[in-house]
Each structure stands twice: as C-alpha cells, then as structure tokens.
Amino acid sequence: MTNFLSLADVTDLDALIQSGRDAKANPFADQHLGKNKTIGLIFFNSSLRTRLSTQKAAQNLGMNVMIMNVGQDSWGLEMEEGVLMNGDKAEHVREAAAVIGRYCDMIGIRAFAELKDRDKDYKEQVMHQFARYANVPIVNLESATRHPLQSLADCITIEEAKANSSLIPARPKVVLTWLPHFKPLPQAVANSFCEWMNARAKSGNVDFVVTHPEGYELAPEFVGNARVMHNQDEAFDGADFIYGKNWSSYTHYGQVLTQDPSWAVTMDDIRRTNNGKFMHCLPVRRNLKVSDEVLDSPHSLVIEQAANREWSAQAVLKEILKSI
Ligand code: CP
C-alpha cells in the first residue's frame, strides 16, 4: 500500500480487517517495522479519536510521531495553484508538503469539507495536493468526502461482534441511518461507510440498507447498490446493526433541511431490531441524535468502535511501512 486515501487503495479487505484484529491481540508484534521511521499527523480540523489512536498505533509499530495543527501551530496553507498570495495564507502547499515530506516517512492529513462549494469539496483538493507534492505516502485521517480509517474500524467492530455473539447471523442486516442535528455536518463518514459496506455486501458479509429523510440522498458513487428507504421504522425491522450519523444535504449542498427529532435513535427503535447493536463514530450529542438509554445500554458498541480505531490505524500503517 503506497497511500491510504480510500477503499480503492486496499487490495485485500478481508486481510486488512484480520490484520487489525491481529494487532489488537498482539499490539507490539511489528515494532521492528517502524524503527527510525517518522509519521507526521497534520490536522486542519479538530480531533480526539483520530489524533490519539493514530499516534498510539504508530508508537505500537515503533514509529516516531510529529503532530501539527495547521493555522494554529503553522502558517495558513494556500491550496490553489498560480494565485497571487496576498491574503491570509502565508505558505503554499507546494513548499509545505515538500518540506514535511523531507521530515516524515509518511503523512496523515485531516481536512474536512467546507460545505460551501460541492465540486471543490468533492475534488479532495487538500489530499491530492499533499499526495502530489509530499513525495511520501499519504494517510487519510478524514477528508472532505471520506473517512476510511473510521470505516475500517467499523468493519473490524462488526466482524468482532459477529465472532462474539451466536445471535448475529453470518450476513447481518446493517442499517445506516441519518440522525437529526442543528449544524450542517459533512457527508464523509456516511459516504465512506456506504463505500465499505457496499464492498462487504458484495462479498456476502452484510446486507446493507441506508435510511434518511427525503433530500438527504448521498452521492450516487457512494450509495452504489445499497437499498435506500425513507421509512426508518421499516428499515430498522430485523436489523442487527444500526449505524447512526448525521450529514447535511448533498443535493442542496451543505444545508440542514430538517431537524425532525423522530429520527433520533431510542430504545423503541432498538426494540424493532434483532437485538441490534448501535454504532456511531463519535463524537455524538446525547439525546439529540441518540438517547442516553441506548448509549448506556449493552446495545451500544460506540466505545469498542472507537477503541478499534487504534487497530484500524495500525493495520494501515503496517501495510504502508511494508512498502517503504
Ligand atoms: N470518529 C472520529 O474521527 O473522531 P475524531 O473526530 O475525534 O477524530
């Protein structure tokens, strides 16, 4: 693996999921791989899980870690080519990426969608500019349209839950549901979850359903062949996993079209499922998106899911270390 920008960089998804589970069972088995190697973690946006889990994974592999918050710790970075740099951005990504690439053997980047210009966000300018100028492998720590380290952790969490419970079938019903929120949030986590679950559905590992109110359709390239339902109750019937996430509209780009509280997940929803598990990437606003009762019940997998971010990062960093 020479970059980890999306699922397209994964050659064997089953093996990558298993690698994450192996890392969880034996975290320090590959410490030799990262000796004298450095990863730079570059954040354009806030993070708790991605920042700490990726740092921990790199350390488990024996790597050195440097972390920088762009704009707070560094100069603001200009991404556009050929512009007169007379604004608030003091450094161009051409120099910044090239210089960071001299200090680091690989670079992780977090850069969210701005939700102002859909075409611009969906071009993934920041990721591609770093990939173009850094000359070292790039790891996506959540970009404008995808969050693949989260999706890999989600796959690990589902496989682990299957292995730990005889009640979950070999091909569980997984439902991605839109949740209400007052702020416009990016589509990245939902897009990525669709991308990875569609791959898992294709290989017979899950039955995948997406449910959301009208107007919250995700981009066709991410929804793929998933079944889409606008009736959340019907979507939840017999579900083994409910994966909750809010996203703003893709068609009315970046807008909040409804905050309908009936879309929040409560124990009434869980009772419609097949003793279903609740997943969310976190952070989550309690009682706005999902009730305390669900989050504090044995149905919730959110802490284990977040813990698995360490093992998804470790599986990916290991693959990249093997290639450099
Ligand atoms: N799920 C996730 O990426 O969490 P952070 O935004 O805290 O990194």
Instruction: Please tell me whether residue 295 adopts helix, strand or coil conformation.
Output: helix
Annotated ligand binding at 272? The verdict is no
What pLDDT is attached to residue 71?
84
The owner of tokens 């124990």 is 267
Report ipTM for this prediction: 0.99
Ligand 1 site residues (CB inside 6 A) read: 47-50, 142, 150, 281-283
Between the CA of 147 and the centroid of ligand 1 the distance, in Å, is 9
**CA-closest candidate to residue 290, choices 280, 275, 298:** 280
The correct CATH number of 150-306 out of 1.10.3720.10, 3.90.550.10, 3.40.50.2000, 3.40.50.1370 is: 3.40.50.1370
Q: Report the nearest-CA residue for atom 4 of ligand 1.
A: 49
Between the CA of 166 and the centroid of ligand 1 the distance, in Å, is 30
Between the CA of 137 and the centroid of ligand 1 the distance, in Å, is 21
Residue-wise burial string across 178-216, b where 16 or more C-beta atoms lie within 10 A, e elsewhere: bbbbeebbbbbbbbbbbbbbbbbbeeebbbbbbbbbeeb
Q: d(Cα 25, Cα 195) in Å, to the nearest integer? A: 27
Residue-wise burial string across 236-273, b where 16 or more C-beta atoms lie within 10 A, e elsewhere: beebbbbbbbbbbbbeebbebeeeeeebbbeeebbebb
Q: d(Cα 149, Cα 195) in Å, to the nearest integer? A: 12
What pLDDT is attached to residue 73?
86
Three-state SS sequence of 169-220: CCCCEEEEEECCCCCCCCCHHHHHHHHHHHHHHHCCCCEEEEECCCCCCCCH
**CA-closest candidate to residue 206, choices 11, 1, 20, 17:** 17
- Ligand 1 atom nearest the C-alpha of 46 is 6
Annotated ligand binding at 194? The verdict is no
Distances (CA, A) of 309 to 105, 114, 179, 233: 21, 24, 22, 30
Taking the chain (324 residues) in runs of 10, the rounded mean pLDDT of each run is 97 98 98 98 98 98 97 91 96 98 98 97 97 98 98 98 96 98 98 98 98 98 98 98 98 98 98 98 98 98 98 98 96
Q: Report the nearest-CA residue for atom 3 of ligand 1.
A: 50
For residue 217, what are its two tokens?
Answer: 């359709």
Between the CA of 189 and the centroid of ligand 1 the distance, in Å, is 10
Class of domain 7-146+309-321: alpha beta
Give domain limits for the chain.
7-146+309-321, 150-306
Annotated ligand binding at 50? The verdict is yes
Q: d(Cα 144, Cα 189) in Å, to the nearest integer? A: 10
Contact 111, 139 (CB under 8 A): no
